[in-house]
Structure 1
Amino acid sequence: MKILNVSITVRDLAKAVRFYRDVLLLPVETTPAGAEVAVGSSRLTLRAGDRFDGVHHLAFGILPSEFELAHAWLARRVSLLQADGSEVILGSEEWKSRSLYFLGPEGIILEFIARDADASTVPGTDECPHMLSISEVGIGVDDVLDTVAALSDELAIPGYYDRSSTFASMGSHDGLLIIVQQDRLWFPTKVSKPARGPLTVQIEPRAEKSRVDLSSNISIVSG
């Protein structure tokens, strides 16, 4: 499952644009409605909006062969978050991944994740890491299991390796929806709750039904 576009709102659009363009060195195009950030094969749409509770979470996929490069490159630009005293955070045996976490505009929790499944992809020759796509989108909901059932039944999104009443992952290694209970704290901060602000996730076409609204603010669009 590939994530084509993620749309969120930010209070300070100009500041967010500067971060993605000048800190992460991603291509950014300003539009009359906001800005479009190119993250590999995905797009991050930023629009000006009012303040909301909580923060969003996005993970950008990178190549395993460029993980050390990404670590050094990011450490020169942002303060990396730690878990158990380490900036490098290992995924479970099923996930087979390594991650680097850091904060972006307005507290958004961003992540570089390198998955073993991408080991065969040829690295580039740039001095900065190659971002493959938006690999994960975090979504806070009132009922995780009901949400999983709705996305499975209506959009044919498969489960991944995790499913409980507080946390579930859906999709595939190159595109995951991380569904969490609304009051669950985002790892690794242990202080930030999922955003209650507007969020639209567009995934590649999967089923006849093209849209599921998880709340008044959150929608998953297929196609």
Structure 2
Amino acid sequence: MKILKVSITVRDLAKAVQFYRDVLLLPVEASTAGAEVTIGSSRLTLTTGGSFDGAHHLAFGILPSEFELAHEWLAPRVSILKADGSEVIFGSDDWRSRSLYFLGPEGIILEFIAREADASTVPGQGENPRMLSISEVGIGVEDVLATVATLAEELAIPHYYDLSSTFASMGSHDGLLIVVHHERPWFPTKSSQPARGPLTVQIESPARKSRVNLSSRISIVTG
């Protein structure tokens, strides 16, 4: 599964554009109506909206061979979050990954994740780490297991390596939906709960159904 586009709202569009363009050095097309950020093969669409509780979570895939480069490049630009005193966070034996977490505009929990599954991908030629795509999108729901069942039935999305009543990962290493209970804080924070704001995720899927509304604010679409 691949994540093609993620759409969210922000209160301060100009500040969000400045972060993705000038801090993360990503291509941004901005207008008075909104902005589109190119992240490898994915797009992040930002539109102006009202305030909401909680924070979104997005992970950007990077190459394992560029992890150290990404760490050095990112450190002076943002405050990297720590877990157990370390900025480098290792995934489980199943995930075979290393991550760097940091805060973006309006408290969004961002992540660089390097998966060993991408070890054969050709690295970029520039001085900046290559961002492959939006690798993960976090979704806060009231009932994790019911949401997993709906996404599996309606959009043929399999669960990945995690499945519990509070946390589940769905998709593949190319693109994952991280489904969590809406009161479970985003790792590695202890207080940032999932956003209750608008979120639309467009994915590649063989399913015939084109749209599943998980709530009045959250939709998963195929395309």
Shorter-normalised TM range = over 0.9
The one-letter amino acid of 1:190's match is: K
Q: Tell me how far 1:76 sits from its aligned partner.
A: 1.3
| 2:25 equivalent in structure 1 | 25
Structure 1 residue 151 corresponds to structure 2 residue 112: no
Distance in 2, Cα, partners of 1:26 & 1:125: 16
| 1:41 equivalent in structure 2 | 41
The CA RMSD measured in Å over matched residues stands at: 0.6
Q: Tell me how far 1:220 sits from its aligned partner.
A: 0.2
Three-state SS of the structure 2 residue aligned to 1:137 is: strand
| 2:5 equivalent in structure 1 | 5
Structure 2, gaps ≥5 residues long: none
| 2:188 equivalent in structure 1 | 188
| 2:66 equivalent in structure 1 | 66
Structure 1 residue 169 corresponds to structure 2 residue 156: no
TM-score normalized with structure 1 length: 0.99
| 2:78 equivalent in structure 1 | 78
Distance in 2, Cα, partners of 1:190 & 1:220: 27
Distance in 1, Cα, partners of 2:205 & 2:194: 26
Q: Describe the superposition over 1:152-199 as per-residue Cα deviations: whole angstroms up to 9, x where unpaired.
A: 000000110000000000000010000000000110011100000000
Deviation beyond 4 Å, 4+ runs, structure 1? none
Please tell me whether the aligned partners of residues 99 and 112 of structure 1 are also in contact (alpha carbons under 8 angstroms).
Answer: yes
Distance in 2, Cα, partners of 1:129 & 1:8: 24
Structure 1 residue 213 corresponds to structure 2 residue 221: no
Percent identical residues? 80
Distance in 2, Cα, partners of 1:42 & 1:184: 27
Q: Describe the superposition over 1:21-75 as per-residue Cα deviations: whole angstroms up to 9, x where unpaired.
A: 0000000001352000000000000000000000000000000000000000000
TM-score normalized with structure 2 length: 0.99
Distance in 2, Cα, partners of 1:189 & 1:181: 15
| 1:109 equivalent in structure 2 | 109
Please tell me whether the aligned partners of residues 157 and 206 of structure 1 are also in contact (alpha carbons under 8 angstroms).
Answer: no
Three-state SS of the structure 2 residue aligned to 1:46 is: strand
The one-letter amino acid of 1:41's match is: S
Three-state SS of the structure 2 residue aligned to 1:70 is: helix
- The correspondence of residues 83-94 of structure 1 with structure 2, limited to 5 A, is 83-94=83-94
Distance in 2, Cα, partners of 1:203 & 1:88: 29
| 1:51 equivalent in structure 2 | 51
